Amino acid sequence: MAMSNETANLTERDSSNFFLRFVKYFIPWKGDKSNEILRKIVFMGSIVLFSMSIDQLSDYLGASKEEQRSYIQDVVVKYEPQFDSNVSYGMEAGGDEYDAANPEAAGQKLSLQDWAKPLLKRNKDVVGWIKIPGFTDYSGEEYINFPVVQGEDNEEYLYLNLDREYYESGSIFADAWSVLDENGQTDNLTIFGHHMGYVGTSFTHLSEYEQGVDFLKKYPIIEFNSIYESGRKYAIVSCFIINTKEKDDGGDLWKYVGCRDLNEEDGSFADWYDQISKRSWYTSDIECTADDKYITLSTCSKLLSDLRWVVVAKKLTPRDNIDLIIKSYKEKPDKDVYFPKYWRDLYGNNKIYKGWEY
């Protein structure tokens, strides 16, 4: 009996080709039982809904990307300071006669600049403007060209735009516990911005400094002006990856954001400079002292969670020669760079660049 049943099953098998059997499995067919027809209809409906959802998600992401870019482009058109047209790479490249390392200049009160007044009417939390000149997209617009705000803490502007409305890219914002006023600014000012991946907004393109010293030589200058300044320029002195949790570096955590006041007497400048030097992917002959002013740009690393990509720059003074600075930039051998343990476990003691989307 068992043998005869097996033989019957063999003779009842569909002898049609594979493609036809595949189609019959998913599409209602003559001879199907009611439960089979229902299953196939539900399956086909699910496919249709899934396809529509993918299409709508794609449209949403595309629209979101363009909307975020459009918003900041409008801000740039309306408010970008126009003092950058005379960017000089000559000997007197500090911006003007002002010398940040001069104690007398440092003691002078600064005046609110005309370029900042319209921005302050829009948002009283605006404290400056940052730009990397010449670093542009296909349309000639700078990737990094933003107003800088300062909130009551370092979370307030994570997802708010200049109008204090929800904005996925957030704002570029200065460390809430740093000083930026008519008396000057904190010795080392940290400025934060999201890494937005494929959207490309905010500080996403800072990650391009991971690609090598040739890129650094091409874009060595950052323009940052508080609302009390015009024409100030900074030269990059260090680029590095760093952990934000102790567990990611064997229990060690250097709190780079907390390095605000630097001086020779208590050793804070020497400790800070040692940290940014040993971690840096590049070297240079830039003269850095405790009397100089610095900015630290911080964004997320997409290569590993909870790590940050950091770019440190020094405010230029008349004594700085940008041509010589650019010539002095060198790639540091991987073996000489300090990487967090979390990084070393995955990539070894090696620099990695996978593109600005990462």
Which residue from 335, 308, 111 is spatially nearest to 194, judged by alpha carbons? 308
Cα(349)–Cα(219) distance, integer angstroms: 26
Q: Which entry of 194, 195, 239, 288 is annotated as an active-site residue? A: 194
Q: Concatenate the DSSP letters of all residues of 54-84 into one string.
A: HHHHHHHHHHHHHHHHHHHHHHHHHH--SGG
Q: Would you tell me the crossing angle of helices 34-79 and 18-26 to the nearest 10 degrees? A: 80
Alpha helices in 123-234 (DSSP H): 213-218
The size of the chain, in residues, is: 358
Which residue from 306, 305, 299, 315 is spatially nearest to 210, judged by alpha carbons? 299
> Does the annotation mark 300 as catalytic?
yes
**Cβ atoms of residues 174 and 149 within 8 Å:** yes
Q: Which entry of 239, 259, 288, 300 is annotated as an active-site residue? A: 300
> Does the annotation mark 205 as catalytic?
no
Which of the residues are catalytic? 194, 300
